[in-house]
Amino acid sequence: MKATDTIDLLYISYYWPPSGGPGVQRGLKFCKHLPAFGVRPTVLTVDEAQASYPLLDRTFEKEVPDGLQVHRTATTEPFEYYKKLTGKKEIPFSGFANQKEKDTLVDKVFKFVRGNLFIPDARVGWNKHALKKAEELLANGNYKAMITTSPPHSTQLIGLKLKKKHQLPWIADLRDPWTNIHYYDQLHHTALARRLDEKYEREVLEQADAIVVTSEDTKRLFLNKPVSIDPRKIHVIPNGYDEQDFTLPSQPPKQELCITYTGTITEAYNIDVFLKALAHTMSVHDAVDYRLRFVGQVSEGLKKRIEQAGLGGITEFIPYVPHEAAIAYLMQSTVLLLAIADVDAVYANVPGKLFEYLASNKPIICLGPVHSDTDRIIDECGAGRLFHYTAYDLMVDHLDQLSKAWKINPNQDLPYINHARYSRKSLASDLAKLVKQLTGQK
């Protein structure tokens, strides 16, 4: 293969525009920037009319590059039955953030069915349709490698079957942990179902030519599993931000100190001590008007805890908005709140929104595990501070200093954040190097 050759890559992803969320952004941005580095992707995804998307964001459709081939297939999934039997208009979000604080009997039944009859997940019904189309594409194309990206982790089983049959270099992109995901225990797996899921996970980790994860801690999590895997084949390519998404000027409000959180947040996110610290700060700095703003899906249980903390009067809940609108809210904030779910494998969780927070040049208040990857990234970029969930005194001191600084200057934007290595283009370059390495091109 000549150094000037373009490598044709089959990119298999369930989530693709018009679906919303960080998983969509990762694949879309890779496919947008890979051609600049000699890799030409072709996308295999699900028919949007049949897909089970928790969120829709039509604004992503305009970012699909001209000339990118996108092949959509049918699927067979249980979510329409779920909506009919429960009377709900939405399917469950990641972590069940749009579910009630207490499950109904029907909810419990569906979680049990989901955890034991649909392994690894309820979108496994797409696999037979995707495999049929993948075989057609491989027969007619000149593909040198393939990527499967998850969740849903059932997509990795497509790569597993294609690898066994075609011996095509295969990259498994695991955006989240698999059997260690924070809501895994809510699915009420039987011992048999759990063993089968662990078997699938182990086979993917062992047989993929390369594993891509989004953090060093996720890499360590997978290496600590009882699998036979060469540590050198696990590569960390984090999520990132697209410079072209950040064209709006920064407009922090002058009349209030606005703390903004974007994305999904549930009871698993331990923000109670922060809420207490903020309530205390409000009582000390009564001349400052505070606003706590959540943009995205917030569970009912968490809304109740915010009310109980005495912050109901200053808190604003904005339902899910398109990606470009979410960025606008970032740019119209004083400071940004980031929280990491307080669950097992918490160190492996580096939220995708972190990198867009960095790109906004706003100071970050993060609640999570000290010495984690998230802590390291925030510190190395000089972008704010991470506090342990229980660090009340430190939070109070930080909020106190922030409030005093805000009285002097309502614009607390950071003069410089060293975040260039997390641009989507830079990360696509890293992925292209891996593809070329696996296909023998220098």
Whether residue 247 sits in one domain with residue 236: no
The band of 341, judged by pLDDT with boundaries at 50, 70 and 90, is: confident
The band of 226, judged by pLDDT with boundaries at 50, 70 and 90, is: confident
Within 10 angstroms of residue 35's Cβ, the number of other Cβ atoms is: 16
Q: Give the whole-angstrom CA distance, residue 353 versus residue 58.
A: 19
Whether residue 280 sits in one domain with residue 227: no
Q: Say if 198 falls within a structural domain.
A: yes
Mean pLDDT for all residues in the chain: 90
Question: Which is nearest to 324 in space by CA: 92, 97, 63, 93?
Answer: 63
Highest mean pLDDT among 4-8, 77-81, 169-173: 169-173
What average pLDDT does this structure show over 354-373?
94
pLDDT, position 83: 47
Q: Which strands make up the sheet holding 7-13, listed edge to edge?
A: 69-73, 39-46, 7-13, 145-150, 170-174, 210-213, 234-236
Which residues contact residue 241 at a Cβ distance below 8 angstroms, ignoring those fewer than 6 apart?
A: 355, 356, 358, 359, 419, 422, 423, 424
Q: Say if 33 falls within a structural domain.
A: yes
The total number of structural domains in the chain stands at 2
Query: Using CB atoms within 10 A of its CB, is residue 80 exposed (0-12), middle (13-18) or buried (19+)?
Result: exposed
Q: Say if 178 falls within a structural domain.
A: yes
Q: Are 272 and 265 in contact (CB under 8 A)?
A: no
Highest mean pLDDT among 63-72, 99-108, 226-235: 63-72
pLDDT, position 347: 62
Whether residue 234 sits in one domain with residue 92: yes
Determine what percent of the chain is predicted with pLDDT higher than 70: 91
What average pLDDT does this structure show over 121-130?
94
pLDDT, position 183: 78
Q: Are 299 and 101 in contact (CB under 8 A)?
A: yes
Q: Say if 296 falls within a structural domain.
A: yes
More confident residue, 183 or 223: 223
For the chain, the first-to-last Cα distance in angstroms comes to 9
Whether residue 343 sits in one domain with residue 253: yes
Tokens at 41, concatenated: 């992707």
Q: Are 222 and 245 in contact (CB under 8 A)?
A: no
Whether residue 148 sits in one domain with residue 19: yes
Whether residue 155 sits in one domain with residue 266: no
Whether residue 92 sits in one domain with residue 157: yes
Q: Are 5 and 37 in contact (CB under 8 A)?
A: no
Asked whether the predicted pLDDT for residue 365 surpasses 90, the reply is: yes
Global confidence as pTM = 0.86
Highest mean pLDDT among 59-68, 79-88, 176-185: 59-68
CATH number of the domain enclosing 117: 3.40.50.2000
Q: Say if 2 falls within a structural domain.
A: no
pLDDT, position 79: 60
Whether residue 152 sits in one domain with residue 254: no
Domain carrying residue 391: 243-420
Question: Which is nearest to 202 in space by CA: 238, 165, 156?
Answer: 156
Whether residue 403 sits in one domain with residue 300: yes
Q: Give the whole-angstrom CA distance, residue 385 versus residue 52.
A: 37
Q: Say if 62 falls within a structural domain.
A: yes
Give tens-digit pLDDT for 285-301.
999 999 999 999 999 99
Q: Which of 79-88, 378-387, 421-430 has the lowest mean pLDDT?
A: 79-88
Whether residue 227 sits in one domain with residue 79: yes
Whether residue 284 sits in one domain with residue 270: yes
The band of 1, judged by pLDDT with boundaries at 50, 70 and 90, is: very low
Give how far the C-alpha of residue 252 lies from the chain's centroid of Cα atoms, to the nearest Å.
Answer: 26
Q: Say if 195 falls within a structural domain.
A: yes
Q: Say if 1 falls within a structural domain.
A: no
Whether residue 106 sits in one domain with residue 140: yes
Tokens at 276, concatenated: 């207490």
Q: Give the whole-angstrom CA distance, residue 70 versus residue 208.
A: 24
